[in-house]
Structure 1
Amino acid sequence: MKQITANRRMSDVLLVLWAGGAALLSYSLVYALRKPYTAASFEGLTFLGSDYKVAVTTIQILGYVIAKFFRIKIISELKKENRFRFFVGSAVLAEAALVGFGLLDAPYNVAAMFVNGLSLGCMWGVIFSFIEGRKVTDILASLLGVSMVFSSGVAKSFGLFAMNELHVDQFWMPALIGGFALPLLVFMGYMLKRLPQPTAEDIALRNERVTLDGKGRRALFRKYAPILSLIFVGNFMLLMLRDIKEDFLVNILDVSNQSSWMFARIDTIVTMIILGIFTLFIFFRSNINALLWMMTLVVAGCLTMTYVSYHYETLDLKPVVWLFVESLSLYIAYLTFQTVFFDRFIACFRIKGNVGFFIAMIDFIGYMGTVALLSAKELFNIDIEWFALFNHIACAVGAVCTVLFIAVAVLIYKKYNRTFRTKELENDTCLNANYNTN
């Protein structure tokens, strides 16, 4: 018996190293195809009267949002035998778009970034579909999720390094970095493809994951509409704030006197902290307890973000310290829903479906907020002081999300009690009926 237990533990460790490492590196490399351009300022350039960098960001996100919309259907219905082909095709198209960004004349090369965003909009869902529904998914999803934090800073740092040290043109810099990332990304996709399927124990603990057609998606949303609606609204605000931080951080903070690797250092520390916190959830066998503690964690992150943003003048924090605290608070809240929450939600309520549907929905709604904000900025020609804007939005988002997510925790608890109390009553009724019959 001891030998069997030891073998299972070793098998779990190997799976975490294999699947977790491949998932983390995969999405980090996706960022290398998507985010390096954010390190460039594109000063003095405009597109149809708008600031060129805002236009590039908005158009790329617009392609991303359209892909997210179709991802609701694509990822929900994507069969496992088609995942790898879809993965490789998306990556190749993204790099081709970056080459087009370098080849085409500015400002009309912004069209290439639309294709880049469109090609990468489904990658998160595809990668997650390889690792969901396992007893170690908390760890695997944590590794996948923190790759967002880590790779965002690294992508910017590589972009700055390529321009400042290698003197690569700002329009060709994204294609150069993407060219190095592409073959590695394809290899990581192959490693994910070779993962063993979930075991009987995995299915018992986390429920079997199945595809969802349109009818199934509508029925699922209706059943959990109050909970999901509040999460969608909160995530709408969190994702909008995250995109402002990621895409305009060089505008928010003066980085002229900072090392090219400052972003990578800060995000690495944030990554390790979040990974450590999320990994602890593997010790929660009770799915409802895990969900309630996740919501506690999210609310704590939102409250911290509000406090620091509201008191930033009084606190007089150094820019690096301010960036660290804001990043940690924001990503704890945002990544909870992008990684561990919905896998546990499905397991808790024994839902017939997959994580891809939920994350595709929150992403689509969230990115709509980013597009709306950037479009309004250009439409009304608003002169933005980025640091003050970020603090004002972070303060408001943290406060509103605190209220929303407390309500979500209450609704989950009530829904769980109603669902399983009803089942217990039904079981008791059946037992009494059988007893009386006998």
Structure 2
Amino acid sequence: MSGRLSEKLARMPTPFFVAYAVVSAFGAYFCMYAFRKPFAAAQFEGETFAGGELELKSAIVISQVLGYAVSKYVGIKVCSELPSRHHPIALVALIIWAEGALWAYAETPGSYKVLAIFLNGLSLGMVWGLVVRFLEGRVTSELLLAGLSSSFIVSSGIVKDLGRAFMSGGVASWWANVPFVGPWVAERMGEVSESWMPMLTGLHFLPFFILFVWMLAQLPQRTEVDHEQRHLRESMDGSRRLHFLMSYLPGMVLLFLAYLLLTAYRDYRDNFAVELFSELGYPYEGNESIITQAEISVAVGVLVTLALLNALRRSRAGLIATFVVMGSGTAMLALSTLAMDAGWISGFVWMTLIGFGSYLAYVPYGSMLFERLMASSAIVGTAVFGIYMADAVGYTGSVAMLLFKDLVASEMTRLDFFKALTYVMAIVGTICLAASCFYFVGRSKEEESKASAS
């Protein structure tokens, strides 16, 4: 059956193939977030790590991000080198590992949860790269990667709202209306504790994750047209990775600096959305789905914007347009914050706009930016290497920023700290992105001239 489905997909009109691939990738990564982010819905109010000054929730967030960062460093090698035939089983194994870590998180008390959530992050950091390997190097890669990228924008808000529904008894009430086994499940579930909520959320999504990974595994091989327009995509050993990095080092350093700030900024907004909305005057009561509402608006805007980039077939024009979109996103951060401080927009609109701006700049790093860079260069390899180099640097910065907030700027509220971070991100990020754009466009012209001369 698998072979027949792949053959049918290869013969399908492009819109049908794109729809199938996007649903498969979106679904798989959406489900992954059910194992990564529900814990952020809990607040652990009044609890500290090891009896010290660091808040327990901050310690848990830092630990998971640290595990995620380590996973990105490991993924530089694993995701770049792992043969494609092993991708499906590797994805399922990583998610089962993550669910096991959430079970340990539920069973362990207080500060010991930090170790369990580290192990959770350690497995999940490689999921993105393995999913991207199915989609890169195709003529339609921008559309496919835009669809994939919208998954973590939407899913993060939804799984946190779902986590709060577990704790309030809302999910148990839903199960009570399911025929046959529903009432039995609802009776035993009830109002779930902050500790057990992440594991139960992941368990609900596990069958769907396996289904979507199977669907990804049916995607056909890349065509000759794909290879012609996007260059051959192959696994990269250590020497190839080093060659690519050193060939574009100045531009890569600028990109990594911008991404370090972007990841720290995006991660802070994501992990502390519950607290930020509360400080803005939106408590949980009466605003049960406010995070989902904001993130769906953000996802639609980002998806439409990035999907339009697929219309640019020439690699250099697409690269320039990608940088323009990213720079516009970072500039939007400062403009929307000034508007809220002036009283022109509400806190909800501000959270939506800064989400839109930050994701416009952030999402291309994990998808089309390095896809365009690989397509415009003469190097044979995989975009996943660049993606994972950026992720490793970015999540290291996220850990550092979280520690700085709680240990150095602990007197600031989460909202005041976040607003200050917004201005830093807007200024430094925009400068770095503009400079890297000039660098890579210049290099692309040089390589094109050399190719024409030879």
TM over 0.5: yes
Using structure 1 for the length normalisation, give the TM-score.
Answer: 0.93
Percent of aligned pairs sharing the same letter: 29
- Aligned-partner residue type, residue 177 of structure 1: T
- 2:257 pairs with 1:252: no
- 2:258 pairs with 1:234: yes
In the alignment, what sits opposite 1:3? Answer: none
Task: Identify the match of residue 162 of structure 1 among 166, 171, 178.
Answer: 166
In the alignment, what sits opposite 1:436? Answer: none
SS of 2:380's partner is coil
- 2:205 pairs with 1:205: no
Indicate if the aligned counterparts of 1:309 and 1:392 stay in contact, CA closer than 8 A: no
- 2:126 pairs with 1:122: yes
After TM superposition, the structure 1 = structure 2 runs for residues 84-103 of structure 1, keeping only pairs within 5 Å, are 84-103=88-107
Indicate if the aligned counterparts of 1:302 and 1:401 stay in contact, CA closer than 8 A: yes
SS of 2:110's partner is coil
Task: Identify the match of residue 372 of structure 1 among 390, 395, 400.
Answer: 400
Task: Measure, in 1, the Cα distance between the counterparts of 2:125 and 2:328.
Answer: 30
Cα displacement string for residues 27-57 of structure 1 (whole angstroms, at most 9, x for unaligned residues): 1111100000111111121112121000100
Task: Measure, in 1, the Cα distance between the counterparts of 2:109 and 2:380.
Answer: 49
Shift of 1:87: 0.5
Indicate if the aligned counterparts of 2:98 and 2:120 stay in contact, CA closer than 8 A: yes
Question: 1:378/1:314 Cα in 2 relative to 1: closer, same or farther (>3 Å)?
Answer: closer
Q: Which moved more, 1:412-421 or 1:118-127?
A: 412-421
Shift of 1:12: 1.2
In the alignment, what sits opposite 2:289? Answer: 261
Shift of 1:381: 7.0
SS of 1:107's partner is helix
Task: Measure, in 2, the Cα distance between the counterparts of 1:320 and 1:310.
Answer: 14
Q: Which moved more, 1:350-359 or 1:127-136?
A: 350-359
Q: Which moved more, 1:253-262 or 1:52-61?
A: 253-262
Task: Identify the match of residue 145 of structure 1 among 133, 142, 149.
Answer: 149
SS of 1:41's partner is coil
In the alignment, what sits opposite 1:72? Answer: 76
In the alignment, what sits opposite 1:243? Answer: 267
Shift of 1:183: 1.4
After TM superposition, the structure 1 = structure 2 runs for residues 282-361 of structure 1, keeping only pairs within 5 Å, are 282-361=310-389
Over the aligned positions, Cα root-mean-square deviation in angstroms equals: 1.5
Indicate if the aligned counterparts of 2:10 and 2:220 stay in contact, CA closer than 8 A: no
In the alignment, what sits opposite 1:400? Answer: 428
- Aligned-partner residue type, residue 133 of structure 2: S
Shift of 1:109: 2.2
SS of 1:168's partner is coil
Runs of 5+ unmatched residues, structure 2: 1-8, 171-190
Shift of 1:11: 2.4
Runs of 5+ unmatched residues, structure 1: 1-6, 427-438
Shift of 1:8: 8.9
Task: Measure, in 1, the Cα distance between the counterparts of 2:16 and 2:247.
Answer: 38
- Aligned-partner residue type, residue 139 of structure 2: K
Indicate if the aligned counterparts of 1:75 and 1:126 stay in contact, CA closer than 8 A: yes
Task: Measure, in 1, the Cα distance between the counterparts of 2:75 and 2:24.
Answer: 22
Q: Which moved more, 1:262-271 or 1:126-135?
A: 262-271
Question: 1:410/1:355 Cα in 2 relative to 1: closer, same or farther (>3 Å)?
Answer: same
Shift of 1:316: 4.3
Indicate if the aligned counterparts of 2:333 and 2:354 stay in contact, CA closer than 8 A: yes
- Aligned-partner residue type, residue 451 of structure 2: K
In the alignment, what sits opposite 2:6? Answer: none
Aligned length: 420
Indicate if the aligned counterparts of 1:27 and 1:148 stay in contact, CA closer than 8 A: yes
- Aligned-partner residue type, residue 356 of structure 2: L
Task: Measure, in 2, the Cα distance between the counterparts of 1:14 and 1:292.
Answer: 29
Indicate if the aligned counterparts of 1:310 and 1:391 stay in contact, CA closer than 8 A: no
Task: Identify the match of residue 46 of structure 1 among 45, 48, 62.
Answer: 48
Task: Measure, in 2, the Cα distance between the counterparts of 1:52 and 1:383.
Answer: 17
Indicate if the aligned counterparts of 2:18 and 2:143 stay in contact, CA closer than 8 A: yes
SS of 2:44's partner is coil
Shift of 1:317: 2.1
In the alignment, what sits opposite 1:280? Answer: 308
Indicate if the aligned counterparts of 2:340 and 2:346 stay in contact, CA closer than 8 A: no
In the alignment, what sits opposite 1:187? Answer: 211
In the alignment, what sits opposite 2:299? Answer: 271
Task: Measure, in 1, the Cα distance between the counterparts of 2:242 and 2:48.
Answer: 43
Indicate if the aligned counterparts of 1:67 and 1:121 stay in contact, CA closer than 8 A: yes
Shift of 1:315: 3.5
